[in-house]
C-alpha cells in the first residue's frame, strides 16, 4: 500500500514523538503516506506485574536502566527497518549528511532511552549504531528522535512543495545559506540589498553564492576547511562582494 519512508520508533512515551510530528510538513507527509511512522511501546513486552521496563543498575548508583530483555522483545517482535539507531549522548553526532543517507534508504528505526539510559548489551548486539543530536543531555530520546525524523522526512521526495529549497539550503553544498529578504523593501529604515531588486538573475545568483561563502568564512571556518579551503573562484566572488559594499 504505502510506498513512503517507513520509520519505526521504540519509546515508552510514544505520544511525545507522535505529538512532535503531527502538524505542518511532517504531519501532512504522514497523512499522505509519504512517511509511514510506526510507534512501539516496549512496555507492552514487560513481563512482571508492574510492567517494569527499567531496573536499578548493577554495581549500584543512582537512577534506573532500561532492561535489555524487554527492549529486545519489543524490537524482535517488530523486525523493524534497519538501520536501528539508538538515541544516546555517546553516539556519533547527527548531521545533514546522515539525514541525506537515511532519506535515500528504504527506512530506518530509532530506539529512545529514558532514565540513566539503555543496558549496554542492547547497544552492543541489538541496535546497529548510536546517534546523538548534540553535546547536551536530554531527559529522553523522544525529542532527539523527532529531530532526526523531521530532518530526514523533509528530504523525502515530494514532502516539501518546492524541491529547489533543498538544493541551496544550509549544508547542502557544505556552506551556510545566504540571507533572505521579503516585503516590505524598507523595514524600519533597513533596506533590501539593491542587487536583489535589480532583476538581473545572474547577478543575484552570484551575490547569493558569495554571501553563502562570506557567512561560512565568518561563522563556520571549519566548514570551509572541510571543503579544502577557498578556490580561486571563491576568492574572486568574495572580492566582488567586498567591492559591491564599497
Ligand atoms: N546517563 C546518560 C544520559 C541519559 S539521558 C549519559 O550520561 O550519557 C536519557 C536518554 O535520553 C538517553 O538514554 C538517550 O536516549 C536520550 N538522550 C539524552 N541526550 C541525548 C542526546 N544528546 N542525543 C540523543 N539522545 C539523547
The answer to whether the CB of 54 is under 6 A from ligand 1 is no
The answer to whether the CB of 11 is under 6 A from ligand 1 is no
Are the CB atoms for 166 and 113 separated by under 8 Å? Answer: no
Q: Which residues partner with 87 through β-bridges?
A: 131
Q: How far apart are CA 150 and CA 103, in angstroms?
A: 11
Pairing of strands 129-132, 84-93: parallel
pLDDT in tens, the chain (246 residues): 457 999 999 999 999 999 999 999 999 999 999 999 999 999 999 999 999 999 999 999 999 999 999 999 999 999 999 999 999 999 999 999 999 999 999 999 999 999 999 999 999 999 999 999 999 999 999 999 999 999 999 999 999 987 667 887 889 889 999 999 999 999 999 999 999 999 999 999 999 999 999 999 999 999 999 999 999 999 999 999 999 998
Residue 199 Cα to ligand 1 midpoint, Å, equals 50
The answer to whether the CB of 93 is under 6 A from ligand 1 is no
The answer to whether the CB of 113 is under 6 A from ligand 1 is yes
CATH of 5-153, picked from 3.40.1280.10, 3.30.428.10, 3.40.50.720, 3.90.1640.10, is 3.40.1280.10
Residue range(s) occupied by CATH 1.10.1270.20 in the chain:
169-245
For 169-245, which CATH class? mainly alpha
Output the pTM of the full model.
0.94
Residue range(s) occupied by CATH 3.40.1280.10 in the chain:
5-153
Task: Look up residue 94 and give its DSSP letter.
Answer: P
Amino acid at each position: 500500500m504505502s510506498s513512503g519512508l517507513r520509520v519505526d520508533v521504540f519509546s515508552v512515551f510514544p505520544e511525545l514523538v507522535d505529538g512532535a510530528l503531527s502538524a505542518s510538513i511532517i504531519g501532512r507527509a504522514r497523512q499522505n503516506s509519504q512517511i509511514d511512522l510506526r510507534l512501539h511501546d516496549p512496555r507492552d513486552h514487560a513481563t512482571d506485574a508492574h510492567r517494569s521496563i527499567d531496573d536499578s543498575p548493577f554495581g549500584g548508583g543512582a537512577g534506573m536502566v532500561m532492561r535489555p530483555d524487554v527492549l529486545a522483545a519489543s524490537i524482535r517482535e517488530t523486525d523493524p527497518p534497519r538501520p536501528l539507531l539508538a538515541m544516546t549522548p555517546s553516539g556519533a553526532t547527527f548531521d545533514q549528511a546522515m539525514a541525506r543517507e537515511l532519506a535515500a534508504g528504504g527506512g530506518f528505526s530509532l530506539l529512545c532511552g529514558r532514565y540513566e539510559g539503555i543496558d549496554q548489551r542492547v547497544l552492543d548486539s541489538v541496535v546497529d549504531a548510536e546517534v546523538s543530536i548534540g553535546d547536551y543531555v536530554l531527559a529522553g530520546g523522544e525529542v532527539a528522535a523527532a529531530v532526526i525524523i523531521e530532518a530526514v522526512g523533509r528530504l523525502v521526495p515530494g514532502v516539501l512543495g518546492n524541491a529547489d529549497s533543498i538544493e541551496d539550503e544550509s549544508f547542502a553544498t557544505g556552506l551556510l545559506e545566504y540571507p533572505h529578504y521579503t516585503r516590505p523593501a524598507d523595514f524600519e529604515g533597513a533596506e533590501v540589498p539593491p542587487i536583489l531588486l535589480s532583476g538581473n538573475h545572474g547577478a543575484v545568483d552570484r551575490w547569493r553564492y558569495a554571501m553563502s561563502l562570506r557567512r561560512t568564512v565568518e561563522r563556520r571556518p571549519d566548514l570551509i576547511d572541510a571543503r579544502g579551503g577557498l578556490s580561486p573562484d571563491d576568492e574572486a566572488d568574495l572580492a566582488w562582494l567586498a567591492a559591491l559594499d564599497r
